[in-house]
């Protein structure tokens, strides 16, 4: 009997390195052509969209002990490992800083755009180059489900927004933060790229739940460096509150997600991809 395909995956960010939301059936750590993923993948029993029970995969982005800094995460191996299990939809979680005064700490942002300011994370391409469309980085269907469920739970959610992805692990300088804000970008994060793109490259629907811990350093006049004692304690308190909110959100979002890819990752006909992969003749 063929092994059951796992269609849905959750990538847990900071604060969600350990999976205790759904019952775990088994754990796997597949070796991919890009190496091993960040950590063991928990295969969990989750509610299905039709009130049945199904399996979903949970992958800790930073490993279970949060030992991997943002720039050291094996993003390609993570996506390849999930793809090998049959995953077609990914719900990701992350924490972020606000670049807009209207986006408050403890708010939820479901971004629809990103700006990449990282480097050295996508140098090891496998095979010939492929030019994939990335105008809309995030799956609109998953985003809609996330926003609807969040509003049902009375969570303050911002539908859309641009996340600027910085290299990390350091935070922004005040000048950098002010520049980000002046561009009209919404939140700042360290892990959305290239994770989001590799999901697109693999034909997997992808969207993220970004919980806001604080205002970035260039936004709030009272913000100081994290070492400022009481400020750090306040941020940590919000961080733990966000984690609990994310867990409740996942319990409500997962049953509303179908098993099928919505098609947002394949806007061009299959012939385009064959040509891009060199499967058709021609010298152009």
> Is there a domain that residue 96 lies in?
yes
- Flag whether 31 is in a domain: yes
pLDDT at 271: 54
Residue 283 lies in a domain: no
Task: With respect to residue 141, please indicate whether it lies within any of the assigned structural domains.
Answer: yes
Q: Which of 63, 112, 214, 234 is catalytic?
A: 214
1 lies in some domain: no
| pLDDT for 1 | 36
pLDDT digits (tens, 9 = 90+) for 41-81: 999 999 876 678 889 999 999 989 889 999 999 999 999 99
* Model pLDDT, residue 242: 83
Known active-site residue 65 = no
| pLDDT recorded at residue 274 | 54
Q: What is the pLDDT of residue 279?
A: 47
Q: Is residue 266 part of a domain?
A: no
In-domain check, residue 117: yes
Three-class SS of residue 10? strand
Convert the pLDDT of each residue in 4-17 to its tens digit: 789 999 999 888 88
CATH number at residue 198: 3.40.50.1580
Of residues 63, 65, 107, 216, which has the active-site annotation?
216
pLDDT of res. 81: 96
Q: Which residues of the chain have pLDDT under 70?
A: 1-3, 49-50, 123-129, 220-232, 267-284
In a domain, 273, yes or no: no
pLDDT reported for residue 182: 96
Q: What span, in angstroms and rounded, lies between the C-alpha atoms of 33 and 20?
A: 29
* Predicted pLDDT of residue 86: 94
- Tokens 């995460």 belong to 73
Domain that holds residue 14: 8-260
Q: How many domains does the chain have?
A: 1
216 is catalytic: yes
Q: Residues 6 or more apart from 116 whose CB is under 8 A from it?
A: 165, 193, 194
CA neighbor of 239 nearest in space, from 15, 5, 13, 8 = 15
């Amino acid at each position: 009997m063929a092994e059951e395909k796992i269609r849905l995956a959750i990538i847990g960010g900071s604060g969600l390195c350990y999976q205790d939301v759904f019952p775990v059936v088994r754990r796997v750590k597949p070796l991919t052509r890009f190496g091993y993923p960040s950590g063991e993948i928990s295969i969990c029993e989750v509610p299905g969209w039709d009130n049945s029970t199904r399996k979903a995969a949970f992958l800790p982005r930073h490993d279970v002990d949060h030992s991997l800094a943002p720039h050291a995460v094996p993003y390609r191996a993570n996506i390849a490992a999930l793809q090998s299990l049959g995953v077609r939809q990914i719900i990701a979680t992350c924490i972020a800083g606000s670049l807009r005064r209207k986006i408050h700490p403890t708010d939820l942002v479901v971004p629809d755009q990103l700006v990449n300011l990282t480097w050295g994370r996508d140098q090891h391409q496998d095979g010939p180059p492929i030019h994939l469309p990335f105008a809309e980085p995030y799956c609109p269907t998953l985003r809609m489900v996330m926003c609807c469920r969040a509003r049902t739970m009375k969570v303050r959610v911002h539908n859309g927004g641009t996340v600027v992805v910085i290299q990390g692990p350091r935070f922004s300088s005040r000048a950098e933060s002010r520049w980000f804000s002046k561009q009209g970008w919404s939140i700042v994060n360290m892990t959305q790229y290239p994770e989001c793109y590799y999901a697109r490259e693999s034909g997997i629907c992808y969207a993220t739940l970004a919980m806001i811990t604080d205002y970035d350093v260039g936004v709030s006049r009272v913000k100081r460096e994290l070492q400022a004692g009481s400020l750090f304690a306040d941020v940590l308190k919000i961080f733990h509150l966000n984690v609990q909110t994310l867990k409740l959100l996942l319990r409500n979002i997962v049953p509303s997600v179908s098993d099928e890819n919505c098609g947002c990752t394949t806007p061009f006909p299959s012939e385009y991809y064959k040509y891009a992969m060199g499967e058709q003749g021609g010298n152009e």
